[in-house]
């Protein structure tokens, strides 16, 4: 709608100052000619907006002009009050700031939208942590935050999963990501993206050197590369199992990240066939948690590994 676009232009100019017409056109997905028509419409309605031509030109508001209009629709008002991942704000030390910001937004909302926004905050809650995920270790994000916002390099003392001793790295941070309640530092190490779990950082020191990020790469770009590496990493071994039907839902839930394909379920058999993908044979030992409710069909080396592990457990309790 044109009215929404005019309001978007007004708020962008109020926030950014001078903005090139082609940038406004790209952001609002219209032509430059449409932007200039919208500027004329704003000017005709009394908004002191003007355009300057030339290499360093752009569109801006008269200095000192401000508007109190929020422009929020009812749905936008509700969206602001759905507090996703509240733990994230606490970990960043922003709980108080978030509450204060929302109070200011509530005061600025059009009166008809306030009851819906307030009801949303009491009726919808988003908890990003998983069920039975176990207690999360305390994470000190202060130094990581300082490096991210000050654009400084970091020296990390970091322990990888499965390693007994930590390693020391000098990294160039892009930013912090909270994934299912777990914080990660996204950084370049030797000009290549790498993911560091914040709860495995034993110590972090801010360096005097400015950050050395790859040109044109933003946090979202680096995160996308790393996310794909994790989610699309090929498994080293494929395991075929039979699962008791009565435990199929639990099996799928606990092995979601390892499932190579959805279980083949005819809806009648007592056993359901499934395929899993693991990085190495010993990783399949986790199937022992299902006792006799899951049977490994193939490959033979996984059956042998589970048999050895089960024998060791039996010996321990004899």
Which of 7-11, 64-68, 265-269 is most confident? Answer: 7-11
Please tell me the predicted confidence (pLDDT) of residue 151.
93
Alpha carbon separation from 222 to 9, 77, 157, 180 (Å, rounded): 30, 31, 22, 18
Residue 69 pLDDT > 60:
no
The alpha carbons of the chain give a radius of gyration, in whole angstroms, of: 27
pLDDT of residue 120: 75
Q: Is the pLDDT of residue 71 over 70?
A: no
Most confidently modeled range among 59-63, 230-234, 304-308: 304-308
Q: How confident is the model at residue 182 (pLDDT cuts 50, 70, 90)?
A: confident
> Cα–chain-centroid distance for residue 291?
35
Flag the least confident range among 4-8, 181-185, 200-204, 243-247.
4-8
Q: Of 22-31, 60-69, 155-164, where does the model show the most confidence?
A: 22-31
Q: What is the pLDDT of residues 137-162, one digit of tens each?
A: 666 788 998 999 999 999 999 988 76
pLDDT at 117 over 90: no
pLDDT in tens, 88-99: 676 677 667 777
The pLDDT score that the predictor gives to residue 217 is 92
Mean pLDDT of 59-86: 68
Residue 85 has pLDDT above 60, yes or no: no
| Residue-averaged pLDDT of the chain | 82
pTM of the predicted structure, to 2 decimals: 0.58
Model confidence at 210: pLDDT above 80: yes
Is the pLDDT confidence value at 57 over 90? no
Residue 83 has pLDDT above 60, yes or no: no
């Amino acid at each position: 709608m044109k009215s929404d676009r005019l309001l978007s232009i007004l708020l962008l100019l109020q926030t950014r100052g001078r903005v090139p017409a082609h940038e406004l056109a790209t952001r609002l997905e219209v032509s430059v000619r449409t932007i200039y028509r919208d500027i004329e419409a704003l000017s005709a309605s009394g908004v002191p907006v003007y355009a300057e031509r030339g290499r360093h030109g752009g569109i801006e508001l008269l200095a000192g002009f401000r508007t109190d209009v929020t422009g929020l629709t009812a749905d936008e008002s509700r969206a602001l009050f759905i507090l996703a991942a509240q733990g994230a704000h606490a970990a960043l030390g922003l709980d108080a700031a978030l509450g204060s910001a929302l109070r200011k937004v509530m005061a600025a909302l059009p009166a008809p939208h306030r009851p819906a926004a307030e009801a949303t905050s009491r009726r919808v809650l988003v908890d990003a942590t998983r069920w039975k995920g176990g207690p999360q270790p305390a994470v000190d994000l202060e130094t990581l935050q300082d490096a991210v916002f000050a654009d400084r390099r970091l020296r990390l003392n970091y322990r990888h999963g499965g390693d007994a001793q930590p390693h020391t790295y000098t990294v160039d941070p892009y930013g912090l990501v909270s994934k299912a309640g777990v914080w990660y530092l996204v950084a370049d190490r030797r000009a290549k993206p790498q993911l560091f779990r914040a709860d495995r950082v034993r110590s972090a020191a801010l360096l005097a050197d400015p950050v050395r990020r790859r040109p044109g790469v933003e946090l979202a770009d680096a995160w996308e590369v790393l996310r794909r590496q994790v989610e699309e990493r090929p498994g080293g071994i494929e395991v075929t199992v039979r699962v008791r039907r009565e435990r199929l839902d639990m099996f799928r839930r606990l092995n979601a990240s390892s499932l190579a394909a959805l279980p083949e379920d005819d809806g009648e058999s007592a056993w359901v066939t499934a395929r899993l993908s693991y990085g190495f044979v010993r990783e399949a030992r986790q199937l022992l948690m299902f006792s006799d409710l899951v049977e490994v069909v193939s490959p033979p080396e996984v059956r042998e590994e589970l048999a050895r592990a089960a024998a060791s457990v039996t010996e321990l309790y004899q």
